[in-house]
Amino acid sequence: MGTVSMGTAETMGRRRPPCSRPLLGACALLCAATTVLLGHILLRDLAVTPQEPHGFSREPEEKHGAHQQGAGGPGPRPGAAPTQCSVPPSNRFDCAPDRAVTQEQCEARGCCYAPVGPPRGSQMGPPWCFFPPSYPSYRLGNLTSTDTGYTASLTRASPTFFPKDILRLRLDVLLETESRLHFTIKDPASRRYEVPVETPRVRSRAPSTLYSVEFSEEPFGVVVRRKLDGRVLLDTAVAPLFFADQFLQLSSSLPSQHVTGLAEHLGPLMLSTNWTKVTLWNRDLAPTPDANLYGSHPFYLVLEDGGLAHGVFLLNSNAMDVVLQPSPALSWRSTGGILDVYVFLGPEPKSVVQQYLDVIGRPFMPPYWALGFHLCRWGYSSTAVTRQVVENMTRAGFPLDVQWNDLDYMDGRRDFTFNKDGFGDFAAMVQEFHQGGRRYVMIVDPAISSSGPAGSYRPYDEGLRRGVFITNETGQPLIGQVWPGPTAFPDFTNPETLDWWQDMVAEFHAQVPFDGMWIDMNEPSNFVKGSVDGCPDNDLENPPYVPGVAGGTLRAATICASSRQSLSTHYNLHNLYGLTEAWASSRALVKARGTRPFVISRSTFAGHGQHAGHWTGDVESSWEQLALSVPEILLFNLLGVPLVGADICGFRGSTSEELCVRWTQLGAFYPFMRNHNDLQSLPQEPYRFSEPAQRAMRMALALRYTLLPHLYTLFHGAHTRGDTVARPLFLEFPEDPHTWTVDRQLLWGGALLVTPVLEPGKVEVTGYFPAGTWYNLQAVSVEALGSLSSAIRSEGQWVTLPAPLDTINLHLRAGHIIPLQGPGLTTTESRKQPMALAVALTAGGEARGELFWDDGESLGVLERGAYTQVTFLAKNNTVVNELVHVDGEGAGLQLRRVAVLGVASAPQQVLSNGAPVSNFTYSPDTQTLDIPVSLMVGQQFLISWS
């Protein structure tokens, strides 16, 4: 009976969007049909999510009557103790997010008070002070159709306990595409800060959609359903909407407990909905659980029953908390801006990611050399030491594409300088690296030294003259303290700063021909709180709500929130600092070098991947952080930042030989592969270890370099289609719930499954193998493709694999073809080697794959057509290539071998373009057919066996 009344209450309190006039007749029929159907859908929905749509408890019918009645009037005003308080703990929404309150203070807010202990293993536990069902929220009025969707007014009859409530709001709902819904809630009377990033603009509503939208009038709510199954993906009426000047809260039900996203944090790929708070406020903090770290990405993805998925993005750059609770539900709590929400309908997880990237931008295409091995440490104190490292790597037979330097090269740790003692022949060293086919990258911090006498340091003098620095309340440059001592902070939202930065980069590049920029400390980090003069006492420095930031204040380890930037206050723009510096640096590199830019940044925000990659900061040399690097790499791929990696062997503290070997093996499958080390730690270059350890690392690096054509092709898919490169298993196998929580393995694209050892003293490893055939590829080389060992035929199960210290388990999925290339000590060498194909047949004898190839560094290759793209297809005992586009370098690529895995019986004859191949080999044990050929990748071929 209660359930039926919930259905009725739901129907009574909801408004369906009005039809546009010409459709009125159809609409009347539709509405009649809808009314009949709605009760049925609601009942079915309730069976799916065991909670009332409004998040209120299942109560006897008269309570619903009371709730319905509340919908007619304003409900209890804050100040009156509420009467309906029996809300189950998991459904409670916090009525005192800003501070601890007594029962008396809680009831004075018009809220319920009932102490309860936190559940086991949860970070925070249910609130003691919580909203009653009747707590006043906004009321929806004047709902009208527009060309793009709907608009309405939202009014609140009584203010809340936060200062400066905005009592009248405007709701705009845009049906932007079939799979994307967008709604904003703003103050119609005054223009508030909005995130200054470009997003798609639409002029008309999508003709058909995967979603339906309904509205609850009072309390106001937006309800988004998936049309396919009627499932409610979003219901914002579960808790009151708050929209005060410095506190915005929007809550929503979740259709499932399986949520990922909300970076950057340290932990598993799937977030716990057992009372978890994720704080977004970019912060220089070595990766620590339950703390705000270097980046902010207010996007989450939910896996739904049956393998469907949806995503939600709140485009808001202010300091915020996101609270997850077991009902399940989620609350966004931001300290400013507007509510600007996108909902992506998928329907499968892969499409959700692509739809998110349609809004924030797809990843940049890295230069080919960026995918090689990078080596760095803080403490390479001179060009002599740096040269010696490169020489040692070469002598020990380790590939190295990019040599880096940390702060050591600078004069007084100042940007765009080098010290004449250790780095007098800096330019000559970099030129030597270039002659050896290598590249060079150095660190650049945003903070500019401000303490020298006038005229002594050009970047500061010029910056001052051109007005590029963030200012304090007196209009003077805010001065903090970073590595060089007193520093000013460039304001990258100022167009003049972009030009100044470009000039500084170009002038330094004219002295030292570096190839890329490593931008660190760009949260921005500051060694004093706020500034050397402190911060003013105002609402921006001491907002009424401070999210759960490390250090307890917004100014902790950064600059004053009230400092001024060209576009707005730092309070609003802080989380965009790394993103704006990455854009400025990418732009400056293009201007200085004329080729594809390479930027790796510590601080990030949504959309970062368009301009730069990311490394995961100051990780510790520990097994725990080795294991946690896997979910972090997967998460950043879901967020459109595929060029990501952790410091191999760890940055802080000294590594052990075993840890460094295992980290190098896993790191060979980070999209961005760099070994980097702290000043105080023991050395950890690959050549420092025992011969068996070196051999294991050499094998891992050779494996990576052999697979680089495939990795580069995956980056092309990310750049052009919004694909992921490193991929969680659930993205490829969403219908298998066993994959959803797997975050100790990763896929490269859809073809390669990596199962690393993440614990000490292990010689075997257990991994999950989704249904299908998986061919062991750990010993792959272009010469010896035929020596592959047997396949795993899985029905979707956990498999224990041998994993001695020299082994990382790598498996190729049946149905895929991957291009391989002979390795070299640099990509300059390896790009000249002949290629091979590994063809993994399904039981039906089919497979496909692709290769994208260009010169590896030019700009505009797609626009100019200066690339080669080839599809490989296997079926009916043949392998052929289809030439999508052939031009430039790829035309000359030689194909020397084709290994076909899964050939059931020995062929009598093999033909290559009609000519018999006499020296093919077939292994009945591994069912591998190894075919030596002499073909060109960019010319049509047909290989067949019978």
| SS3 per-residue string spanning 452-506 | CCCCCCHHHHHHHHHCCECECCCCCECEEEECCEEEECECCCCHHHHHHHHHHHH
The full 3-state SS of 51-109, as one line of letters, equals CCCCCCCCCCHHHHHHHHHHHHCCCCCCCCCCCCCCCCHHHCCECCCCCCCCHHHHHHC
Cα separations in angstroms, 219 against 167, 216, 235, 775, 801:
14, 6, 11, 56, 56
CB 390 within 8 A of CB 435: no
- Indicate if 461 belongs to the active site: no
Please give the backbone phi and psi of residue 146, each rounded to the nearest 5 degrees, phi first: -130, 175
∠ Cα 705 711 716 (to 5°)? 145
Is residue 428 within 8 Å of 464, Cβ to Cβ?
no
Residue 514, token pair as written in the block:
């570096």
d(CA 597, CA 366): 7
**Do the Cβ atoms of 328 and 93 come closer than 8 Å?**
no
What distance in Å separates the CA atoms of residue 771 and residue 303, rounded to the nearest whole number?
A: 19
Question: Would you say how long the chain is, in residues?
Answer: 946
> What CA–CA distance (Å, rounded) separates 834 from 828?
13
Residue of 236, 74, 218, 241 lying closest to 166 (CA atoms): 241
User: Burial of 212 by CB count in 10 Å (0-12 exposed, 13-18 middle, 19+ buried)?
Assistant: middle
Considering the candidates 401, 415, 515, 523, report the single residue annotated as catalytic: 523
295-303/309-314 β-pairing? antiparallel
Q: Identify each DSSP E strand in 328-420 by its residue range.
A: 329-334, 339-344, 373-375, 402-405
Secondary structure letter of residue 528 according to DSSP: S
Q: In 483-638, where does DSSP find H-type helix?
A: 495-511, 570-573, 577-593, 623-638
What distance in Å separates the CA atoms of residue 645 and residue 669, rounded to the nearest whole number? Answer: 9
Could you give the CA distance from residue 804 to residue 790 in angstroms, rounded to a whole number?
17
* Residue tagged active-site, from 520, 723, 850, 854: 520
Cα gap 448→466, rounded to integer Å: 14
User: Residue 333: phi, psi to the nearest 5?
Assistant: -130, 105
DSSP H or E run through 448: strand 448-449
Instruction: Give the C-alpha separation, 883 to 789, whole Å.
Output: 32
The whole-angstrom separation of Cα 940 and Cα 742 is 40
d(CA 79, CA 104): 10
Q: Which amino acid is at 54?
A: H
Tokens of residue 161, six digits? 């306990």
Q: Residue 520 catalytic?
A: yes
Q: How many CB atoms lie within 10 A of CB 588?
A: 25
Q: Is 414 helix (H, G, I), strand (E, B) or coil?
A: strand
Q: Indicate which residues carry an active-site annotation.
A: 520, 523
